[in-house]
Amino acid sequence: MMHTRSTILSRQLLAACALGACLATPAVFAASSTPADIESRYKLDVQRCNSGQTNQDKATCLQEAGAARAEAKRKRLLNSSPSYDKNQTQRCNGLPAGEREDCLLQMSGQNTATQSTTTQGSVGGGGILRETTITMPGSPTTSPSPTAPATTTMPAIPAPGTNVTPMPGSAQ
């Protein structure tokens, strides 16, 4: 079977989505760390599994919800991880040097005075779109003054079939 560029890109996109789904669950549990919050989140996950609101089959969904609850109770679900930062850096390293800094700022999600990043979408919905708006201060411009069209002196070209005699005093 021949692998075309679109097949390879489709597989890479699928792998990225699967990785994102695995990384999304710990981030949700990291925000709530009390036992009551963990149980509340678990019940919500089970409810979503039972109603078919996930992209997994019911058995896998319930297993993942239970595993996430167990890890949250052990305080092993953290939102910040060195591997996240490394992943962000690796994504941007493939870009030209001029675009790398903007990429790192976009991946961090930090907003500055001249740059704001919005994130929308979900892994389950097909992807995450990050849009960054960079405000560049304009350079002051002055309106160009009207100038007279340039005039050039064209030598006289004789019409075909005519003789042109030089004027007295001109060199030829």
Q: What is the tens place of the pLDDT at every residue in 71-91?
A: 888 887 765 567 777 887 888
Whether 138 is covered by a domain: the verdict is no
Of the two residues 116 and 71, the one the predictor is more confident about is 71
The single-letter code of the amino acid at 83 is S
Judge whether 29 lies within some domain.
yes
pLDDT higher for 57 or 160? 57
Residue 45 within a domain? yes
Q: Is 45 exposed, middle or buried (0-12, 13-18, 19+ CB in 10 A)?
A: buried
Same domain, 64 and 102: no
Residue 151 inside a domain? The answer is no
Domain shared by 94 and 50, yes or no: no
Backbone angles phi, psi at 166, to 5 degrees: -65, 150
What average pLDDT score do residues 139-156 get?
A: 64
β-bridge mates for residue 127, sequence order? 122
Same domain (yes/no): 9, 63: yes
DSSP codes joined into one string, 112-172: -SSEEEEEEEETTTTEEEEEEEE--PPPP--PPPP-PPP--PPPP-PPTT----PPTT---
57 or 135: which carries more pLDDT confidence? 57
Q: Answer whether residue 148 shows pLDDT above 90.
A: no
Domain that holds residue 117: 82-133
In a domain, 19, yes or no: yes
Residue reference for tokens 């990384």? 23
Look at residue 25 in the predicted model and tell me its pLDDT.
Answer: 46
Name the 3-class secondary structure at 57.
Answer: coil
pLDDT at 5 over 90: no
pLDDT tens readout for residues 17-63:
454 554 444 444 444 468 888 898 899 889 989 998 888 889 998 99
Same domain, 66 and 44: yes
Same structural domain, 33 and 65: yes
Are 49 and 87 in a shared domain?
A: no
In this structure, are 66 and 23 located in the same domain? yes
Is residue 147 assigned to a domain? no
- Whether 20 is covered by a domain: the verdict is yes
Instruction: Return the percentage of the chain with pLDDT > 90, whole number.
Output: 9
Q: 89 and 69 in one domain?
A: no
Is residue 46 in some structural domain? yes
Q: What backbone phi and psi angles, to 5 degrees, belong to 127?
A: 155, 165
Q: What is the mean pLDDT of residues 156-160?
A: 65
Q: Are residues 58 and 88 in the same domain?
A: no
Domain count for the chain: 2
53 and 91 both lie in a single domain: no
